[in-house]
Amino acid sequence: MKRIFLASSNITTEPYPVYPLGLAVIAAALTEAGHMVEQFDFLASGESEELLAERITAFVPDYVCVSIRNLDNCDSLTVTAYPEIARRLIEVIRKQSRAPVIIGGPAFSIMPEELLAFTGADYGIVGEGERLLCELIRDLREGKTPPRILRGTGVLPGNEMISPLYSENLIEFYREKSGMINLQTKRGCPHACIYCSYPSLEGAHYRCRDSKSVVDDLERLKAVHGVERVFFTDSVFNDSDGHYLEVVEELIRRDLSLRWCCYMRPEGVGRREIALMKRAGLYAVELGTDAASDTTLLALGKGFTFADALEANRACVAERLPCAHFVMFGGPGETMATVTEGLRNLDQLEHTVVFAFSGIRILPGTPLLARAVRDRVLAEGASLRDSVYYMSPDVDAEAMNDIILTAFRGRRDRIFPPSEGQERLSIMYRFGYRGLLWDSLIRFPKELPC
């Protein structure tokens, strides 16, 4: 048995604080392997380096694991980078312990060599860590010399994904701060959006957990921790194979009276499915619409049209289900004409919230990187650790942002720039609101057309 200290370096609260689910899954795997585990969340600590030092000193770990969830906040107008925080935490850890430091998490998996060198960690885990981390610690314990960066030969099947080991203290913090705890029903994504890292991080196919196991986790969250609201963090909840409906039906069968929300793709979902999900406790949905015109949707590889997004919105409105659309302007194919067209299209989305972003973060290993080099937005071989955004050569970014601001001005249900949304949500938080918060910005009329 080894003593293993797990630390989440994430401090982002945009759009709301998110429970470190990966930490809980790794904690479960290590505990199942017979190790003693301590979980530490830098955000929940009040971003206290002193508390981290105290916890490290008291625990006396054999190994320390640090996760990096995000590279930045994905807002080109007010960029906040996060790898520096992980590096600073590792410096604090080094002063308190001689234990090897192992780094992982989604951000690390996106650019492992660069972040291993930048943070000064001893080892790194690329991809899903449940199995790899246990194997690394076994090899180190046996005196072997593993590579500094471990990469799995594949991804875990859905039936091998284990239930998270939640921390009671962290659950209390996130219930207070966001009102929600996270859970995955599946991993992977088969879609080919050119900017997205999900397929490389989780695999290009859905790997679904057994629906009964998912609802077992939800049942425990409610019975043991008193959790009443959950966010499903699947890349896409409404998979085309219909696994999500199995989860929904199991929720209805057990009648847990939990409220939940999720990310959905605005395609292949109609009023019947929305009604069923709402019956199972769905109270709001975030739609990955991502662009506002068919030209830019096609260029992003979305695989659906704006008419699909409009139809999904109508289904939500018909069932009086709050929904939000997230759209990015300035991507490949964007022109000043498509910006104007996109804003006209967004005007058709009634009784919903729209969050708009300017530019698209360029990530290693994505087709957007090659497009950025081809369009001379980015020099070939340039570092992507610091935030770099794609902005179409055919738009004037400043003029585009002004047009969006003008179109959204005076509307409580239209958010741009993203920092304005954070300011609004912070005010609502101070008034005692919890959860998504944006859902309270929607007002449905007393009567809606059938």
Instruction: Of 22-31, 180-189, 412-421, give the lowest mean pLDDT range.
Output: 412-421
- Distance (Å, whole) CA 102 – CA 82: 17
d(CA 397, CA 358): 8
What is the rounded end-to-end Cα distance, in angstroms, of the chain? 62
Weakest mean pLDDT among 74-78, 326-330, 397-401 = 74-78
Closest CA to 52 of 17, 8, 22: 8
User: How far apart are alpha carbons 60 and 272 in whole angstroms?
Assistant: 55
- CATH for the 3-151 domain, from 3.40.50.620, 3.20.20.70, 3.40.50.280, 1.20.1250.20: 3.40.50.280
Helix boundaries (H) for 15-102 = 21-32, 49-59, 83-96
Average pLDDT for residues 377-395, to the nearest whole number? 93
pLDDT at residue 16, as a whole number: 82
Express each pLDDT in 84-114 by its tens digit. Answer: 999 999 999 999 999 999 999 999 999 999 9
d(CA 52, CA 58): 10
- Residue 210 is predicted with a pLDDT of 96
H/E stretch holding 221 reads helix 211-225
Average pLDDT over residues 34-51: 97
Q: Quick one: pLDDT at residue 290?
A: 97
What architecture does CATH give domain 179-441?
Alpha-Beta Barrel (3.20)
Sign of CA dihedral 219, 224, 228, 234: negative
Q: Which residue has the higher pLDDT, 424 or 407?
A: 407
Cβ-Cβ contacts under 8 Å for 431 (sequence gap 6 or more): none
Arithmetic mean of pLDDT, 419-424: 77
Higher-scoring residue by pLDDT: 246, 1: 246
Q: Which residues contact 352 (CB under 8 A, 6 or more apart)?
A: 313, 316, 317, 322, 323, 324, 325, 413, 442
Tokens coding 335 = 């022109």
pLDDT at residue 449, rounded to an integer:
57
**What are the strands of the beta sheet with 36-41, ordered from one edge?**
36-41, 3-8, 63-67, 101-104, 123-126, 149-151
What's the whole-number mean pLDDT along residues 254-260?
A: 95
> What is the band of 159 on the pLDDT scale with cuts at 50, 70, 90?
confident
Residues 322 and 325: their CA atoms lie apart, in Å, by 10
> What confidence score (pLDDT) does residue 334 get?
98
The pLDDT value recorded for residue 422 is 76
User: For residue 431, what pLDDT band results from cuts at 50, 70 and 90?
Assistant: low
Instruction: Identify the pLDDT of residue 367.
Output: 96
Residue (of 285, 212, 231) closest to 439 by Cα position: 285
Q: Which residues in the chain are classed under CATH 3.20.20.70?
A: 179-441
pTM (2 d.p.):
0.94
Closest CA to 140 of 96, 92, 99: 99
The first and second tokens of residue 373, run together, are 């080099």
- Are 262 and 285 spatial neighbours (Cβ–Cβ below 8 Å)? yes
* Cβ proximity of 404 and 356 under 8 Å: yes
| pLDDT recorded at residue 160 | 86
Q: What is residue 448's predicted lDDT score, i.e. its pLDDT?
A: 64
Nearest to 218 by CA among 263, 172, 260: 260
Which run of H or E residues covers position 271? helix 271-279
Q: For the chain, give every residue range classified as CATH 3.40.50.280.
A: 3-151
Crossing angle of helices 112-119 and 83-96, rounded to 10°: 50
Of the chain, the percentage scoring pLDDT greater than 90 comes to: 85
Omega within 30 of 0 (cis) for the link into 417: yes
State the Cα–Cα distance between residues 146 and 154, nearest whole angstrom.
18
Strand partners, 186: 208
Cis (ω within 30 of 0) for the bond into 449?
A: no
What is the C-alpha radius of gyration for the chain, rounded to an integer number of angstroms? 22
As a whole number, the mean pLDDT across the chain is 94
The band of 164, judged by pLDDT with boundaries at 50, 70 and 90, is: very high
- State mean pLDDT over 17-34: 96
The whole-number average pLDDT for the span 392-412 is 97
pLDDT at 57 over 60: yes
Check residue 264 and give its pLDDT. Answer: 98
Query: pLDDT exceeding 70 applies to what percent of the chain?
Result: 98
* pLDDT-based confidence at residue 282 (cuts at 50, 70, 90): very high
Residue 450: predicted pLDDT: 55
Q: CB–CB of 364/111 below 8 Å? A: yes
pLDDT of the residue at 75? 81
Beta-carbon contacts of 95 under 8 Å, excluding residues fewer than 6 positions away, are 53
pLDDT tens across 174-197, in order? 998 888 999 999 999 999 999 999
SS3 content of the chain, % helix, strand, coil (to 5): 40, 15, 40
